[in-house]
Structure 1
Amino acid sequence: MTLTRFSSGHTAPLNDDAEVTDDNPVQLRNPCNGSVVYILGTAHISPRSAEQTTELIRTVRPDTVVVELDARRAERLRREMERDTHDSGESFLTDLFQSFSSNRSGSLLAKLLEPMLRSWYRSFRVAGLIPGGEFMNAIREAEALGARVVYGDRNARETLDRIITELRSHFLEILLRPKQFQVPAEVAEFERNLREAIQRRGSVPGGTADVVDQLLNRPRVRQFNHFIGRYLPELMRPLLHERDAILAQSILNAPGERVVAIVGLGHMDGIERRLRREAQLVRATTQGEV
């Protein structure tokens, strides 16, 4: 059964009675085909993300692994890892500014918005909204196991186009918004604590990775996303909410009895909520047919 409900249009965040948990990974059942789904939320800055990815895939031995990448992004990461270079994430900003600068008005817009985008970029990375190299670890494990790999994310170019559309549509509103170039104090404090924990990793024997993981949990990132959404809803729509829907759709469509999905931690709530909502709809439909 192939669903298209989630991938049509520009999707807003869901506000319904489909509750989410704080589990990571979370285990769910696909209501469309009965498969067992394990969803792991990772963060590029977490020292344990790759380790947790490996452990989950080797333990579950899934038929399919869904990763938060599109084919173009996956190929870029593969080339970087073959050259033993590490993606700093700057490629995303570079692509965005190049897209802006394709015409004169776009170039002006890019210059005006660049300080804001750069000041918020670290926040997007912390929340797991910009894919990192840890997803290549999932692909390697899947290939070693002989599992199918599904690139579950939207094409990066489409996401960039959506970001540009949103920023252009709300350009004046963004510029006039109070403190739109300033990261909220709550977010800045969260990032500062993370940076300090990561810096201590090299000087404090053991335990520092646990400190980072305690900070990078679902409740914290949920709050983090809330703060970002309050200040920059124009970016959260294409970066988070629309991609939540697309990733959830990819998971629902994934074949096999066991499926592992590796996604950014910031996408966990939106994906889980959509899968639980789909289960509610399937149950309601089934009961109505009895």
Structure 2
Amino acid sequence: MNEKTQTRLTLQNREIILVGTAHISRESIEEVQEVIRNEHPDMVCVELDAGRLASMTQQDSWDKLDLVKVFKEGKGFLLMANLVLASFQRRLGLNMGVKPGDEMKAAIDTASELGIPFSLCDREVQLTLKRAWASCGFWSKNKLLATLISSAFTTEKIDEQQIESIKEKNELDSMMGELAEYLPEVKRTLIDERDHYLAAKIWASQGSRIVAVIGAGHMGGVVAHLEKISRGEATIDTSNLEQLPPPSLFSKLAPWIIPALIITLLIAGFFKSGGAVSINMLLQWMLWNGSLAALGTLAALGHPLSILTAFLGAPIATLNPFIGVGLFAGIVEATLRRPRVQDIEHLATDVTSLKGLFRNRVSRALLVFFLSSLGGAIGNFISIPFLTNLIIK
């Protein structure tokens, strides 16, 4: 047994063999296949959910993508996060000649070949991302977006030896420590919660001998949780990890703060200096807000009508907390430049480069949505002190 990547546990007369993998490692694929063939367990558990398995095995998984619906349901940022994470792993995988998750698929294929049942033991990825996003405060959300974007477009080359070193404990401890320090809320959701979830699902799987294939980063946490479960110190009930946390009072009030500030400033300007000054303040705010939203859309190479829509729609969206600033521009872009078949087929590959990102109509519509939202938000932050200064004069 490879002590760096495998752990064998005997708990309550059950044997659980954990195989820690790097998700873009050719060596991990070979190791997973070898362990399953040699151990021939009663059950094979894999760190996948049904959605990710479908995206790996169904060629038409993106064909059902409706961008307009995504924007209307407020899932634009969630889809962007999905694509950025996928592009980062895919680019690394292309360097290694493998695709992200190939070792999990190899585990399923090997189990099926040998007639061994398998179970999907990971939490649904959309729920994990939603919980991670909901757990972040304002600054943490910005740090998370910045980290995702910088990771997606890093030009650093990683060789196969570095990929394999990811599975070594000292490397993992360092990485987890950095993540916990930089974004403790995200680390808790992406790592700690899923350690518990994976352990619970592995324990709940049938069979007295189980092989569980998990990312190496989860190895220590899953072992600890399995031992606690076997001693009765932890439960296999994961219902609390499958719900979104209730929003805090601040998160409920936050969407109303900017509209309230702007309206308060306009009213204050009216009572202090009259209607002409108040109207001038309104026009100045609309100019800042609309212009920077339009500039963001232009930076995304949006359609001219998308740029105009961003300019006109940003002030309306700002005053209505139920509408995202980028909603209008994103919908117009997706409508005027409807994704083609090749855009859907090449999406996963196109988002690995800046050229492909702008060429693909799906990713460009998402850029329009994101950058128009960012521009409108910057416009509001600039305009508020500007309007305040007009009143003080």
TM-score normalised over the length of structure 1: 0.61
1:19-168 maps to which residues of 2 (within 5 A)? 23-31=4-12, 34-80=13-59, 101-102=71-72, 110=77, 122=88, 132-167=101-136
Is the 8 Å Cα contact of residues 64 and 260 (structure 1) preserved in structure 2?
yes
Cα distance in 2 for residues equivalent to 1:214 and 1:247: 23
Determine the structure 2 residue equivalent to 1:235. 186
Distance 2:167 2:204 in 1: 29
Deviation of the 1:213 alpha carbon: 2.3
What amino acid is aligned across from residue 219 of structure 2 in structure 1?
A: M
- Bigger relative contact order (CA 8 A; separation at least 6): 1
- The whole-number CA distance in structure 2 between the counterparts of 1:119 and 1:155 is 15
- Greater fraction of residues in helix: 2
Once the two structures are TM-superposed, the CA of residue 122 in structure 1 deviates from its matched residue by 4.7
Deviation at 1:219, TM superposition (A): 2.2
**How many Å apart are 1:224 and its aligned residue?**
0.7
What secondary structure is seen at the aligned counterpart in 1 of 2:159? helix
Q: Which residue of structure 2 lines up, in the alignment, with residue 219 of structure 1?
A: 170
1:197 is matched with: 159
Are 2:217 and 1:266 equivalent residues in the alignment?
yes
Report the identity percentage.
Answer: 28
1:265: how far off?
A: 1.1
Partner of 1:278: 229
Which one-letter code corresponds to 1:151 in the other structure?
A: L
Compute the displacement of 1:141 (Å): 0.7
Count of matched residue positions in the alignment of Structure 1 and Structure 2 = 216
Cα RMSD (Å) of the superposition? 3.9
Q: CA deviation at 1:53?
A: 0.5
TM-score, normalization: structure 2? Answer: 0.47
Decide whether the 8 Å contact of 2:5 with 2:167 is kept in 1.
no
Q: From the superposition, tell whether residues 36 and 120 of structure 1 become closer, same or farther in structure 2 (CA, over 3 Å).
A: same
Contact (CA 8 Å) 2:29, 2:106: kept in 1 or not?
yes
Q: Give a deviation string over 1:186-226, Cα, whole Å, max 9, x none.
A: x9xxx95xx4433xxxxxxxxxx5x6424531221122111
For residue 160 of structure 1, report the CA deviation from its aligned partner: 2.6
Alpha-carbon shift at residue 279 of structure 1 (Å): 3.6
Rounded Cα–Cα distance in structure 1 between residues aligned with 2:172 and 2:221:
12
Letter in 1 for 2:225: R
Task: Sort the Cα spacing of 1:173 and 1:143 in 2 relative to 1 into closer, same or farther, 3 A.
Answer: closer
Which residue number in structure 2 is paired with residue 11 of structure 1? none
Query: Where does residue 200 of structure 2 map in the other structure?
Result: 249
List runs of 5+ in structure 1 lacking aligned partners.
1-21, 199-208, 283-290
Q: Matched residue of 2:101: which SS?
A: coil
AA aligned to 1:136 is K
Structure 2 residue aligned with 1:202: none
SS of the residue 1:39 aligns to: strand
Aligned-partner Cα distance in 2 for 1:44–1:99: 31
Work out the CA distance in 2 between the residues paired with 1:268 and 1:26: 8
**Which sections of structure 2, spanning at least 5 residues, go unmatched?**
93-99, 234-393
Distance 1:229 1:61, change over 3 A: same
Write the deviation string for residues 113-144 of structure 1: whole angstroms up to 9, x where unpaired. Answer: x79x9599859x99xxxx72321110001111
Residues 100 and 164, structure 1, Cα contact 8 Å, conserved in 2: no
Q: Distance in 1 between matches of 2:228 and 2:105?
A: 30
* Contact 2:48–2:104, Cα closer than 8 Å, also in 1: yes
**Given the superposition, is the C-alpha separation of residues 73 and 98 from structure 1 closer, same or farther in structure 2, using an over 3 Å criterion?**
farther
The alpha-carbon deviation at position 266 of structure 1 amounts to 1.0
Residue 249 to residue 142, structure 1, CA distance change in 2 (3 Å): same
Shift of 1:248: 0.1
Q: 1:144/1:213 Cα in 2 relative to 1: closer, same or farther (>3 Å)?
A: same
Mark the CA change 1:69 to 1:180 in structure 2 (over 3 Å): closer, same or farther.
closer
